[in-house]
Amino acid sequence: MHIPLSTTAQEARRAAALRRRVGAGVAILLIGAAVAVMLASGGHPGQVRHDRGLQASHETPPARSHATGESWQLVRENQAVNRLLERQQFITRAGTEGREIALTFDDGPGPYTPRLLDQLQRLHAAATFFEIGFMFRWFHASVSRELRMGDVIGDHTETHPHMALLSPTAQQDQILAQTEWLHRYGGPFPRLWRPPYGSYNSKTLAILRRLHMLMVLWTVDTEDYVRPGVAVIVHRALAGARPGAIILMHDAGGNRMQTIAALPPIVRALHARGYHLVTIPQLILDDPPLGAQSVPSHPAGD
């Protein structure tokens, strides 16, 4: 079932798309080499400039919304996000009444995403992915697979910049350009957004408010992006595990074999503690946060 965008979101998306169609030719030739260097060196895609000229297409709901029961579940999850947005613009953790935790992965899709999805499928664990728009060009097969698996895809901007350093117009383009890629490959307009580097300002929040998007931060950052070792990643994830926790990891932006190796022991230990692994919208629906939340003291997530 398609959940329609608000008029504001539709108009903003169309305006951004028109701006991005201007001068969309030569940059494609530069991207292949830039991405190859980035992946080989373990660098971050946020420094790559790219073509964003996308053609509008008819909105297609994700595969998991085909069944009536699943369609109703999507409606309920969207309603839960809307209720939360009425009182706060971001979330660092859900409520503490249930035994649910959300695993989240940033910076994909990428070359390691298929192996991470294999692990999630074997472990019967749901996840939420915050993805970078221009990476869809090369790794969109993983996007389609995530949607088929019932995972949720959120917005992690188009090129992973420090948003607080950008103008309001550039910030809006960063957010909406990612939604165009997701739109192209069958995903709905994302209700969730995560700031690269934890960087945002009042202008960012104003844009998210107009687009009816929730900023998702985290309860614990495993810092897996610096590749501290499998044991360290596992320890950090489990040390931060508590009801309603949002755990931050990465499936792209560098070599992610440590994260992939850490996933089975993390999931099995959480299951052994009686936790269910759910998506962010499911977490908000089942056990919404109570009271005001504080921004993490060091919001430096990659």
Are 188 and 151 within 8 A, CB to CB?
Answer: no
**250 in active site:** yes
Percentage of the chain beyond pLDDT 70 is: 74
Residue 188: helix, strand or coil by DSSP?
coil
Are 258 and 227 within 8 A, CB to CB?
Answer: yes
Mean pLDDT for 226-250 is: 98
Tell me the domain boundaries of the chain: 64-286
Mean pLDDT for 50-55 is: 33
Q: Which of 44, 156, 160, 250 is catalytic?
A: 250
Q: Does the pLDDT value for residue 20 go beyond 60?
A: no
pLDDT value of position 228? 98
159-215 per-position pLDDT tens digit: 999 999 999 999 999 999 999 999 999 999 999 999 999 999 999 999 999 999 999
115-134 per-position pLDDT tens digit: 999 999 999 999 999 999 99
Q: Tell me the whole-structure pTM to 2 decimals.
A: 0.78
pLDDT value of position 68? 58
Q: Does the pLDDT value for residue 238 go beyond 60?
A: yes
Return the CATH number of 64-286, one of 1.10.10.10, 3.20.20.370, 3.90.550.10, 2.102.10.10: 3.20.20.370
CA-based nearest residue to 130, from 197, 71, 184: 197
User: Can you tell me the distance from the alpha carbon of 249 to that of 296, in angstroms, rounded to the nearest whole number?
Assistant: 16
CA dist 52 to 21, 117, 150, 176, 278, Å?
Answer: 7, 27, 27, 11, 32
Q: Which of 106, 107, 155, 287 is catalytic?
A: 106
264-297 per-position pLDDT tens digit: 999 999 999 999 999 999 999 999 998 777 665 5
**173 in active site:** no
User: Can you tell me the distance from the alpha carbon of 177 to that of 157, in angstroms, rounded to the nearest whole number?
Assistant: 7
Pure H helices in the chain: 7-20, 27-41, 68-85, 113-123, 136-149, 168-184, 202-211, 230-239, 257-272, 280-286
